[in-house]
A and B are shown apart, each in its own frame.
Chain A
Amino acid sequence: MTKRRTWVYFIPYGLWLALFVIAPVALIIYQSFFDLGQHFTLTNYNTYFRSATYLKMTLNSVWYAFLITLFTGLISYPTAYFIHQLKHRQFWLLLVILPTWINILLKAYAFIGIFSQAGLANQFLTFIGIGPQQILFTNASFIFVATYIQIPFMILPIYNALDDLNPAFVNASKDLGASTWQTFRHVIFPLTLPGVKAGVQAVFIPSLSLFMLTRLIGGNKVITLGTAIEEHFLTTMNWGMGSTIGVVLIVAMIVVMLLTGDQKTKGGTPR
């Protein structure tokens, strides 16, 4: 009886998984084996791994995703830590989440307004005597905006990890004579590491294939795999090649998941 119930509960989730996760991934993998003439081949993979352009683009994507994740992390951990100490945590957390309710395109256009020649940022630079600078269409502005957009997705898991942390550990550490830094370094940080890892997964993976921002903010001076996929699907209609790049991205994501996943076997804690 109970067993049958469980089955019924699983149906919606199972259907969802089959239709929207397994089927699309299977389709992408299937498509990636077809060339422009609809022949079943490995040409696409061959082209990809022999092309300096695609390999450079892959490196670019990984490098920018790494930088975005790094800066997001550097900002998010202290922020989450700080919010966790505050009195009205839920309110501050709401403020962090608030920007995610706004469409990413609107946020990008807002940044175009801020960073443009006559924008707020340049007005400020002129005011303090530096004079207007080219801010839009630089790598720095691209990383800045991408980081801004990703920050909430990093803060939340870290905050939750901090929330789950038993205060008794912190108190014990202090009672045993550890300094604030030592407590943080040896107790708080290692115990909230799963939160950081979850945050890295939530940020690094989407950052690998950003393409809207590369055009709107980066002016196509930053080219990632997302740009190439868009072009293959919309302009050249070479879905096979587009899917091949998609498969490469999926594999890259699996690698990231494995690297940041929970390791079951833990060595001795370093002293």
Chain B
Amino acid sequence: MKRLVSLIVSLLAVCGLLAYTGHQLQASSGSTGSKVLNLYNWGDYIDPHLLTKFQKETGYHVNVETFDSNEAMYTKINQGGTHYDLAVPSEYMVAKMKRAHLLQPLDKSRLTGLQNYDSQFLNQTFDRGNRYSLPYFWGTLGIIYNDKFIKPGSIRHWNDLWSTKYRDRIMLIDSARDIMGMALASQGKSMNTTDPTTLRAAEQKLNRLAPNVKATVADEIKMYMTQNEAPLAVDWSGEAAEMLANNDHLHYVVPSEGSNLWIDNLVIPKTAQHTNAIYAFLNFMSRPDNAAQNAEYVGYATPNRTAKALLPKATREDQQFYPDATTLRHLEVYRDLSPTKVQLYNDLYLEFKMHH
């Protein structure tokens, strides 16, 4: 007993010491100093070489902290006590943070390189005139298929998934908005519709897809698709890029009749402190050479048109991640719906899941 107690006490002492040293180290590298920038980003969502380059050029040290969901990021910033200078929410979260007064407007006079951005990704409904946000990366919702089991070219449209050939073959991303949106797009309807009859019809159409659904899961889709567990999946292009990198048999298709266009954006939270560093960084990231380098590292599509031109031909002409103009025209950005409408989407989606 005595030995056990002394063991526990010494373990606690070691942990305490480590925590203290860690704290000291962090304080010295400093989220508190003046030559720093605190970036709150998704995991592995920026090329680390760019951060060193930025420090060399400007002298600002970038501290990166990561989050794994928009909601987690929102909660942390909303609770206060953080000093993030920049965060990277998706479009609907920009709208939500704006409404909750968590963002500072951008000072356009201090921004250079705005003209590099493709107008397709500016002035969206979630932030008219880009008063608060700059696009960082964008992507789509689409179908991933494995050419070991599916003939290339046989999957082009959402409706192809409804074929009886694919009984128990499809994995869906567990997201109400995206799966309901897929059904709506397959019927030629807007993915932002709030009409109950249209939504009800979409849910009924989803119910007919139920026999083909093997599972409705989240991040695990990447693992399953890479391991050839299922021949078909519906997921976001960012996730697809990772799968394709790990399994040569996988391909990604954005249905030309319409799909979702999502945009991750750089925003300045209310709590930001290092204004000079923020604008230095925004301008640094808007530069075509840096944006292109970042896009090559992360593997997502860049909204920076000049940067895109700098990418290797194979990348910039890859229809999977830079869809052609017709498809692009049919893509829709999700609008931030009212809570009751979000509820309706989720209720119908839950009914679909119950239908299995």
Q: Which residues of A contact B (CB under 8 A)?
A: 36, 53, 56-57, 60, 112, 116-118, 134, 136-137, 215-216, 219-221, 223, 227-228, 231, 234-238, 241
* 1/0 contact string of B176-202 vs chain A (CB within 8 Å): 100000000000000000000000000
What's the A-B contact tally at a CB cutoff of 8 Å?
Answer: 71
Interface-lining segment among B44-52, B266-274, B339-347? B339-347
Query: Contact between A116 and B339 (Cβ–Cβ < 8 Å)?
Result: no
Determine the residue in chain B with the shortest Cβ distance to A222.
B356
Q: Determine whether B12 belongs to the interface, using a CB cutoff of 8 Å to chain A.
A: no
B347's nearest neighbour on chain A, judged by CB, is A53
Minimum CB distance partner of A231 in chain B: B346
Contacts of A57 in B (CB 8 A): 354
A-B contact pairs, 28 of them (CB 8 A): A36-B339, A36-B340, A53-B351, A56-B354, A116-B224, A117-B228, A134-B214, A136-B215, A136-B229, A215-B174, A215-B218, A216-B220, A219-B214, A219-B215, A219-B216, A220-B174, A220-B216, A220-B353, A221-B213, A223-B353, A223-B354, A231-B350, A234-B71, A235-B342, A236-B339, A236-B343, A236-B346, A238-B339
Main secondary structure of the interface of A (DSSP, over half): loop
Q: Which 4 A-B pairs have the closest CB atoms?
A: A219-B215, A220-B216, A137-B215, A221-B356
Contacts of A118 in B (CB 8 A): 227-229
Chain B min CB distance to A104 (Å): 15
The answer, yes or no, to whether B239 is at the interface (CB within 8 Å) is: no
CA distance A47 to B339 in the complex (A): 16
Known: A36-B339, A117-B228. A220 touches B350 (CB 8 A): no
Query: Contact between B354 and A137 (Cβ–Cβ < 8 Å)?
Result: no
Whether A137 contacts B220 by the Cβ 8 Å rule is no
Cα A4 to Cα B67 with chains together (Å): 50
Interface check B296, CB cutoff 8 A: no
With a cutoff of 8 Å between Cβ atoms, the chain B residues found around residue A117 in the complex are 227-229
A119 to chain B, nearest CB (A): 9
Q: Are B343 and A36 in contact (CB under 8 A)?
A: yes
Looking at B218, B339, B347, the one whose CB has the most chain A CB atoms below 10 A away is B347
- Cβ of B9 under 8 Å from chain A: no
Cβ of B350: which chain A residues have Cβ within 8 Å of it? 53, 223, 227-228, 231
State whether A137 touches B339 (Cβ < 8 A).
no
Nearest CB to that of A60 among chain B residues? B354
B-side contacts of A235, CB under 8 Å: 176, 342, 346
Q: Across the two chains, which residue of chain B brings its CB closest to A47?
A: B347
A2 to B: closest C-beta gap in Å: 28
The CA of A191 and the CA of B214, in the complex, are separated in Å by 46
**Known interface pairs A117-B227, A136-B215; 17 further A-B residue pairs with C-beta atoms within 8 A, sorted by A's residue number:** A36-B340, A53-B351, A60-B354, A118-B229, A137-B215, A219-B171, A219-B216, A220-B216, A220-B356, A223-B356, A228-B350, A234-B71, A236-B342, A236-B343, A236-B346, A238-B343, A241-B343
Q: How far is the CA of A219 from the CA of B350 in the complex (A)?
A: 14
* B217 is an interface residue with CB less than 8 A from chain A: yes
For B346, what are the chain A residues with a Cβ–Cβ distance below 8 Å?
231, 235-236
Distance in angstroms between the alpha carbons of A57 and B355 in the assembled complex: 11
In angstroms, Cα B214 to Cα A236, docked, is 25
Shortest Cβ distance from B349 into A: residue = A231
**Interface size grouping (class) on chain B:** 20 to 34
B332 close to chain A: CB less than 8 A = no
Q: Which of B188-247 contact A (CB under 8 A)?
A: 213-218, 220, 223-224, 227-229
Closest CB of chain A to B55's CB: distance in Å? 37
Whether B354 and A53, one on each chain, are in contact in the complex, defined by CB atoms closer than 8 angstroms, is yes
In the assembled complex, the Cα of A235 lies from the Cα of B351 at a distance in Å of: 16
- Measured between alpha carbons, how far is A75 from B218 in the docked complex, in Å? 33
Q: Identify the B interface with A (CB < 8 A).
A: 71, 168, 171, 174, 176, 213-218, 220, 223-224, 227-229, 339-340, 342-343, 346-347, 350-351, 353-354, 356
Question: Are the C-beta atoms of B229 and A220 separated by less than 8 Å?
Answer: no
Closest-by-CB residue of A relative to B218 is A215
Q: B227, A137: Cβ atoms under 8 Å?
A: no
Bound: A136/B217 CA distance, A: 12
Q: How far is the CA of A116 from the CA of B228 in the complex (A)?
A: 10
CA distance in complex: A219, B224 (Å): 12
A149 to chain B, nearest CB (A): 18
CB distance from B173 to the nearest CB of A (A): 11
Bound CA span A60–B213, Å: 20
CA separation between A98 and B346, bound complex, in Å? 40
Distance of B218 from chain A, by nearest CB (Å): 7
Q: How far is the CB of A46 from chain B (nearest CB, A)?
A: 14
Q: How far is the CB of B31 from chain A (nearest CB, A)?
A: 28
Query: Is A116 a contact partner of B227 (Cβ separation < 8 A)?
Result: yes
Residues of A within 8 A of B176 (CB): 231, 235
Q: Which residues of B contact A136 (CB under 8 A)?
A: 215, 229
User: Smallest CB-CB separation from B215: which chain A residue?
Assistant: A219
**Given A36-B340, A235-B176, A237-B339, A112:B354 Cβ within 8 A:** no
Cβ of A56: which chain B residues have Cβ within 8 Å of it?
354
Cβ contacts under 8 Å, A219 to chain B = 171, 214-217
Residue pair A221, B215 in contact (C-beta under 8 Å) = yes
Contacts of B228 in A (CB 8 A): 117-118
Chain A residue numbers with a CB within 8 Å of B217 are 215-216, 219-220
Cross-chain contact of A220 among B215, B223, B351 (Cβ < 8 A) = B215
Q: Tell me which residues across on chain B come within 8 A of A220, comparing CB atoms.
A: 174, 215-217, 353, 356
- Note all chain A residues with C-beta closer than 8 A to B339: 36, 236-238
- A112 & B214 in contact (Cβ 8 Å cutoff): no
Q: How far is the CA of A103 from the CA of B346 in the complex (A)?
A: 30
Question: Which chain B residues lie closer than 8 Å to A231 at the CB level?
Answer: 176, 346, 350
- Return B110 CB to nearest CB of chain A, in Å: 35
- Cα distance, A30 to B57, chains bound together (Å): 55
Chain A residues with CB under 8 A of B171: 219
